[in-house]
Chains A and B, each alone.
Chain A
């Protein structure tokens, strides 16, 4: 692409990101705000691609726009079913000034930091020197699973804690009920067919993203999000029934990732290498094992977040996706 065309594209992207952000904040209606938030996430992902950060773009599109968007849409749906949905009028007067000033202050601080802080030292030479010893070729995976694996371990645990928080929202009496609202699917209908066609393809893409993450953009979080979508589509299409919180396979799948991660760290510490310090010879094997377990746990945890807390079947019935009446 020539310089002028690239500049035009980037400027257009900047304008669109700003517009989508403004529309999400200023529009009336929660549903419309959520739709613009999703569009905003997809545009930001395009921006990351333009900056050459494909890993971040994948994560933003899958988690920032996709998963967060679905969670917000599910929240809007639940509010409407509970009769609690109301469109908050646009803030005016003094009340509007506080968040506006706070936003301006954050923007100002970021601009100040951009000019005041020294440019971060380019990780080029050091990373290039350390990368061959990390066990993988994708520098992002090397940082996430080897050099700074502490952060990733804590992220995995935070995700699990978030799911437990969602489960706490269920009623006491519903604790042993299946997760989420009941799905009603017309036998042989469009949704039932979709639920059989998409999951095999999604499975392939998710596992490929995990495997490719070793030396190309991808990894546990990106692959796990795709697999989470596969699980949700399959459950919505009635291919499988959602489990209850006391199902053993579910619990094993949830703790497998953080468990294998922690276990690998402890074993390495016991062998004298230090907690989560990967020796060069075993680095690749440890990273593949941890990422595989992590992908499964992330997929099940994210799907669990979308499904919501356990809900008794006689509660408010789910809005059926293809018009079939319960």
Chain B
């Protein structure tokens, strides 16, 4: 019962971060602030959802898989954010948010 409530609370919190991150991605003016918004969704949002789902896992290997998914998503998101930011530094058009593509 308490486990279910904790799962609901954590996944809800995770979804809130995803919504906030999406809103930031759509509304923020330039590449760097958009990246900042996205990291919230990937790190905190996915982390909270994974934690909430892990509380419902039937076996410890399921928990391990969830941790691996979160860690890989974190690694990929962090790397891609750095690469996109550097590409934006090299190309001023993308920095001001004028260009719709990188």
Q: A residues engaging B (CB < 8 A)?
A: 29, 31-32, 190-191, 193-194, 197-198, 201, 319, 321-323
Cβ–Cβ contact A29 & B100, under 8 A: yes
A31 to B101, CA, bound (A): 7
Shortest CB-to-CB span from A79 to chain B, Å, is 12
B57 within 8 Å of A (CB atoms)? no
Cβ–Cβ contact B75 & A190, under 8 A: no
Contact mask B83-102 → A, CB, 8 Å, 1/0? 10011011000000000110
B79 within 8 Å of A (CB atoms)? yes
A93 to B100, CA, bound (A): 27
A323 to B75, CA, bound (A): 19
- Give every chain B residue within 8 A of A322 (Cβ-Cβ): 82-83, 86
- Give every chain A residue within 8 A of B89 (Cβ-Cβ): 323
**Closest 3 A/B residue pairs (Cβ):** A323-B86, A190-B82, A31-B101
B19 within 8 Å of A (CB atoms)? no
- Give every chain A residue within 8 A of B83 (Cβ-Cβ): 190-191, 321-323
- Give every chain B residue within 8 A of A201 (Cβ-Cβ): 72
CB neighbors of A among B44-93 (8 A): 72, 75, 79, 82-83, 86-87, 89-90
A5 to B21, CA, bound (A): 25
Q: Given A29, A31, A323, which contacts B90 in the complex, CB threshold below 8 Å?
A: A323
A198 to B82, CA, bound (A): 16
A321 to B79, CA, bound (A): 10
Q: B residues engaging A (CB < 8 A)?
A: 72, 75, 79, 82-83, 86-87, 89-90, 100-101
- Give every chain A residue within 8 A of B87 (Cβ-Cβ): 319, 321, 323
Query: In chain A, what residue has the closest Cβ to B68?
Result: A201
Query: In chain A, what residue has the closest Cβ to B88?
Result: A323
Assuming A190-B82, A323-B87, is B100 touching A32 (CB within 8 A)?
Answer: yes
Query: In chain B, what residue has the closest Cβ to A77?
Result: B102
Q: Given A191, A198, A321, which contacts B75 in the complex, CB threshold below 8 Å?
A: A198
- Give every chain A residue within 8 A of B75 (Cβ-Cβ): 194, 197-198
Cβ–Cβ contact A190 & B79, under 8 A: yes
A157 to B79, CA, bound (A): 36
Query: In chain A, what residue has the closest Cβ to B87?
Result: A323
- Give every chain A residue within 8 A of B82 (Cβ-Cβ): 190, 322
- Give every chain B residue within 8 A of A198 (Cβ-Cβ): 75
Interchain residue pairs with CB less than 8 A apart (6): A191-B79, A191-B83, A198-B75, A321-B83, A321-B87, A323-B89
A306 to B79, CA, bound (A): 20
Cβ–Cβ contact B72 & A29, under 8 A: no
Query: In chain B, what residue has the closest Cβ to A319?
Result: B87
A319 to B100, CA, bound (A): 18
Query: In chain B, what residue has the closest Cβ to A194?
Result: B79
- Give every chain B residue within 8 A of A197 (Cβ-Cβ): 75
A322 to B78, CA, bound (A): 13
Shortest CB-to-CB span from A85 to chain B, Å, is 10
A14 to B83, CA, bound (A): 34
A323 to B79, CA, bound (A): 13
- Give every chain A residue within 8 A of B79 (Cβ-Cβ): 190-191, 193-194
- Give every chain B residue within 8 A of A319 (Cβ-Cβ): 87
A29 to B101, CA, bound (A): 9
- Give every chain B residue within 8 A of A321 (Cβ-Cβ): 83, 87
Shortest CB-to-CB span from A323 to chain B, Å, is 3
A191 to B79, CA, bound (A): 7
Shortest CB-to-CB span from B95 to chain A, Å, is 12
A324 to B82, CA, bound (A): 13
A129 to B1, CA, bound (A): 45
Shortest CB-to-CB span from B49 to chain A, Å, is 15
- Give every chain B residue within 8 A of A32 (Cβ-Cβ): 100-101
